[in-house]
């Protein structure tokens, strides 16, 4: 049950954004055992004036960097998260052509009782 948000600079075509969403979904399915059709993802686009990146931590990023934030159940292992990072960078390099240096991912853990996916219920508590 990941909740994903992607931030990126504005100006890319729809097909580029769809490729990011498709790659993220595929990587989550393959590495985090996300169920079929578990797709809760958004993209926000920002003008150049409202989007910054740096080269901290020895990574030379370009203006095409994408910031991906995933909120997941706190049951995922370190190994699953590491596999996600690798697989996602590989898939986004293939399509839409994002350099692995430009795939910036943060995974936040949330306890199952903190989720309501509709009807005002805590389905996983």
**Domain range summary for the chain, segments of one domain joined by +:** 3-114
The question of whether 2 is a catalytic residue gets the answer: yes
Scanning the chain, the segments in alpha helix (DSSP H) are 14-32, 78-94
Q: Which of 2, 13, 63, 100 is catalytic?
A: 2
Looking at the structure, give the CATH architecture of the domain made up of residues 3-114: 2-Layer Sandwich (3.30)
In tens, the pLDDT along 50-67 reads 999 999 999 999 999 999
Q: For the whole model, what pTM was predicted?
A: 0.96
57: left (phi over 0), alpha (psi -120 to 50) or beta: left
In tens, the pLDDT along 16-29 reads 999 999 999 999 99
């Amino acid at each position: 049950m990941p909740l994903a948000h992607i931030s990126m600079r504005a100006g890319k075509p729809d097909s580029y954004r769809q490729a990011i969403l498709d790659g993220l979904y595929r990587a989550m399915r393959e590495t985090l055992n996300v169920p079929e059709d578990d797709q809760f993802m958004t993209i926000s686009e920002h003008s150049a004036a409202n989007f910054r990146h740096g080269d901290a931590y020895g990574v030379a990023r370009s203006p095409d960097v994408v910031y991906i934030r995933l909120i997941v159940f706190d049951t995922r292992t370190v190994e699953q998260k590491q596999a996600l990072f690798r697989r996602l960078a590989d898939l986004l390099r293939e399509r839409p052509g994002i350099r692995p240096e430009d795939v910036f991912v943060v995974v936040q853990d949330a306890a199952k009782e903190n989720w309501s996916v509709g009807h005002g219920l805590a389905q996983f508590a």
